[in-house]
Structure 1
Amino acid sequence: MADSNSLSRKRWWYLMPVIFITYSLAYLDRANYGFAAAAGIDSDLGITKATSSLSGALFFLGYFFFQVPCAIYAVQRSIRRLIFFSLILWGLCATATGFVSNIPVLMGIRFLLGVVEAAVFPAMLIFISNWFTSAERSRANTLLILGNPVTVLWMSVVSGYLVQAHGWRGMFIIEGLPAIAWAVIWYVLVRDKPNQVNWLNEQEKRQLQDALDAEQRHVKPMRNYGEAMRSKTTIMLCAAHACWCVGSFGFMMWMPTIIKSAATIDIVSVGWLSAAPYLVAIIAMLLASTFSDRLRNRKIFVWPPLLIASVAFFISYLIGAHSFWTSYAFMTIALVGMYAPYGPFFAIVPELVSRNVAGVSMGLISSCGALGAFAGSYLVGYLHGLTGSPGASYVLLAFALLGASILMFCVRATPSEDPVPSLKSEAIR
């Protein structure tokens, strides 16, 4: 028997840095639009407030339409090739944003950026399920999704300085190029499954595959993708993720603009204030995923933080413009509540759905999240432009997250109440 500790260390050290950097670059090229909006892209291109919110949100519309097709390709063909071409294409789209001269081209590029990035998240979740067991999956998912807050953390500071030095055009060009270079590194380092690598010996490959196969013994096989998509649990997780993303992406996309309008400060200070809450979110994500794996209870680490985030946004609404720093503190609490549950949430699906369809189920859930992100990004930008203050946006975010929390509380992941998958003994109670 191979040393399990050695096998575990090899996978974490070989794979997670590559996974993290790849998702981090994807998040960089989708999230920096908020800084362009705060830096004057609207006035430079003659964009109205409503059009600005639509331009920022179009990314998620492209993301929505292509999540499931990309997940199917990842399952049936190759994650490695899919991400390789996606890296090149999204790097080109992101860089091209720095050269736009009119509104239709900007909208087209934002939509295409969403299309080519649609592969990343479901493919990475499938990749993790190919390499990590259920006892590790929440932490692995969290290290993937940490590419989100960690990227926003450093991007908020770097983008502020880049905008100050080179304008929003220079920011887009400079921040789009790393993805193209990383595509080559990704293709050299990554293989789709354990039996394709040379850094595990045959005994280690067999041990890992046996562990992954054992997890599926009590999960009822499903006939096809349609059966997986009709599962009551899958539908509820889709709805919860859509509401959740209305809140998280609506706030993330427009946080720099909200801060800049609430406090009279320069763009570099906006960057630092936008970055700080993500540091706290990173710590919360690591704690939630660690205890989720240890206790094998996913739900308890999902719906309560979302409820706390909802309440925090509602308190920020009540405070209004009376105290920027108090409102900012509750914004930080809300952001932490939105990010902490991601690892446990995406560890749920492989524990409930058979391996042959789990990837597509994750793609569908992620796709519904993209639709929520589109709605949140558009509505938050639109309401802020319409009212000139973040109050109405806070109410929208509060109700969206409340809906996500209620849906997750109501998910009943037990064999008797969801006829499609059967649970393992360590799955969600």
Structure 2
Amino acid sequence: MPWIVLFALIAPINLLMSLDRQAMTLSAPVIQHEFGFSTIQMSAIIACVLWTYAFFQIPSGTIVNTLGPRRTLFGACFFWSFMTIITPGAGGFLSFLALRMAMGVGQAPDWSSSIVSIRNWFSPEKRGRANSVLLGFLYMGSVIGGPLTTHITKQWNWRSNFYIYGVIGLVLSILWLVFFRDTPPRGDGGGIDTARDDATAKVETAHLRRALRSWQFWSLGLHYMCLLTVQSFFLVNMPFYLMGARHVSYLSMGWLYGMPWLVLYLAVVAGGMISDTIQRKTRSVWLARTPMGVFGTGLCGLLVEIGCLAPSTNISIFLFCLALGLTGLSQISIWSSVQELTRRHTGLVAGWTTFLGNTASGLAPIAMTYIQGRTGSWPLAALVLTFAGIVGALCCLGTHSERPLHLEE
């Protein structure tokens, strides 16, 4: 039953969120030409969804802990899908920003709801694989969305993407409300005993204060902040890089855009199995989480830098695939640790981690666009990612999910 819930309800909504988000990224060259936006303006339109997404993470974690993932994610998915449908009605830079930021508010509770749902439905020894499926579907949205969105744009127009994805979202939100339950039936293989270990316990100010005094709480969030700094290049900057620096066509860009995300999908699936196997054989949570996170985060930014320096497009894409694949190993490390760091406040930890990560993801692409615009050099701009990867690997060493926080004391 838990796997049916994951594949039929939790994972499809996250795939849809990815499709909704990358629709703007892949439509950006066409929208930029139609409205005459500068590259920095277009980057801001793409990234601004992450500003509000990040800002509302901690409130969202609290809402999930109070209302539960069923009611929270229904309202969130319905709202952001409606915002997706009306996005084509934007008439200028400010209206695009407003609609995209509203969409970010709607998407903010998605990840905390999903993480809490997996914690409630899956036992600890299965969470690595469950997290890998969840992340895999999230990234599969970019794999599918690359060629799908560019072909829909060529066949009809860029507005059609938002109409199609938005309507699908409204349907999924209703299915979620009808069929999902916050916890599994007793004896159905769930991950918690809700009588004594509720992942959606009410969050009080004292709990947040205790968490903020913990280095583990900070190191986990800062690790994710650095990791998403690297991933933001692929989420926002890559289409501009491919069409500007490598001079590929719009349709070719869609296919090339999806390739690193396919490798990332495979990496998170493999990473989940590897993590669960290590934990089962060694009984060590640290060995199952930390080395994989350090390795993945430490190298991913450096590989993007080398890819920008590569002499050919093929070599560049190959290195980008490796880089994004390595971030998948770190994602498994981070989100398994989020679920293990506290017994009763997973929503709070997930909200905090996602807040810091998406703050970086919303600002780093604009900074890179600015550096590239002033210097004309993508390799120079990519040094931001190399630095972030090294710092993130060091932060990963400070996370010990085998020593959980006790926020109630």
- Normalised by the size of structure 1, how large is the TM-score? 0.85
Q: Distance in 1 between matches of 2:166 and 2:158?
A: 12
Q: Distance in 2 between matches of 1:47 and 1:329?
A: 31
The change in CA–CA distance for 1:124 and 1:386 in structure 2 (over 3 A counts) is same
1:188 counterpart residue number? 178
The change in CA–CA distance for 1:414 and 1:105 in structure 2 (over 3 A counts) is same
1:7 counterpart residue number? none
The reply to whether residue 334 of structure 1 matches residue 323 of structure 2 is yes
Q: How far is the alpha carbon of 1:209 from its aligned partner?
A: 4.3
Q: Distance in 1 between matches of 2:192 and 2:221?
A: 29
The reply to whether residue 54 of structure 1 matches residue 65 of structure 2 is no
Q: Distance in 2 between matches of 1:107 and 1:332?
A: 30
Following superposition of structure 1 onto structure 2, how do residues 240-255 of structure 1 map, counting pairs within 5 Å? 240-255=223-238
Aligned residue for 2:248, secondary structure, equals coil
1:37 counterpart residue number? 28
1:155 to 145, 165, 173: 145
2:239 counterpart residue number? 256
Q: Is the 8 A contact 1:384 1:393 kept in 2?
A: yes
The reply to whether residue 345 of structure 1 matches residue 334 of structure 2 is yes
CA deviation vs aligned residue, 1:104-140 (integer Å, no higher than 9, x gap): 1000011111111001011111111111111111111
Q: How far is the alpha carbon of 1:276 from its aligned partner?
A: 1.8
2:312 to 309, 323, 346: 323
Following superposition of structure 1 onto structure 2, how do residues 279-358 of structure 1 map, counting pairs within 5 Å? 279-296=262-279, 297-319=288-310, 322-355=311-344, 357-358=345-346
79-88 vs 263-272, greater mean Cα deviation = 263-272
1:69 counterpart residue number? 59
Q: Which segments of structure 1 move beyond 6 Å, counting only runs of 4 or more?
A: none
The reply to whether residue 118 of structure 1 matches residue 108 of structure 2 is yes
Q: Distance in 2 between matches of 1:146 and 1:77?
A: 27
Q: Distance in 2 between matches of 1:215 and 1:167?
A: 47
The change in CA–CA distance for 1:279 and 1:50 in structure 2 (over 3 A counts) is closer
Letter paired with 1:368: L
Aligned residue for 1:329, secondary structure, equals helix
Q: What is the percentage of aligned positions where both structures have the same residue?
A: 22
- Normalised by the size of structure 2, how large is the TM-score? 0.89
Letter paired with 1:255: M
CA deviation vs aligned residue, 1:278-326 (integer Å, no higher than 9, x gap): 222222211111111121211122110112212212322433xx32222
Larger Rg: 1
Letter paired with 2:290: K
Q: How far is the alpha carbon of 1:78 from its aligned partner?
A: 2.6
1:129 counterpart residue number? 119
Q: Distance in 1 between matches of 2:273 and 2:360?
A: 27
2:360 counterpart residue number? 372
Following superposition of structure 1 onto structure 2, how do residues 202-281 of structure 1 map, counting pairs within 5 Å? 202-204=186-188, 209-210=192-193, 224-281=207-264
The change in CA–CA distance for 1:414 and 1:140 in structure 2 (over 3 A counts) is closer
Following superposition of structure 1 onto structure 2, how do residues 64-103 of structure 1 map, counting pairs within 5 Å? 64-103=54-93
Q: Distance in 1 between matches of 2:32 and 2:243?
A: 15
Q: Distance in 2 between matches of 1:211 and 1:137?
A: 17
2:7 to 13, 16, 24: 16
Q: Is the 8 A contact 2:271 2:328 kept in 1?
A: no
Q: Distance in 2 between matches of 1:165 and 1:414?
A: 52
Q: How far is the alpha carbon of 1:166 from its aligned partner?
A: 2.1
1:168 counterpart residue number? 158
1:426 counterpart residue number? none
- What are structure 1's unaligned runs of at least 5 residues? 1-9, 196-201, 217-221, 423-429
Letter paired with 1:130: N
Q: Distance in 2 between matches of 1:175 and 1:215?
A: 34
Letter paired with 1:270: M
- What are structure 2's unaligned runs of at least 5 residues? 200-204, 280-287
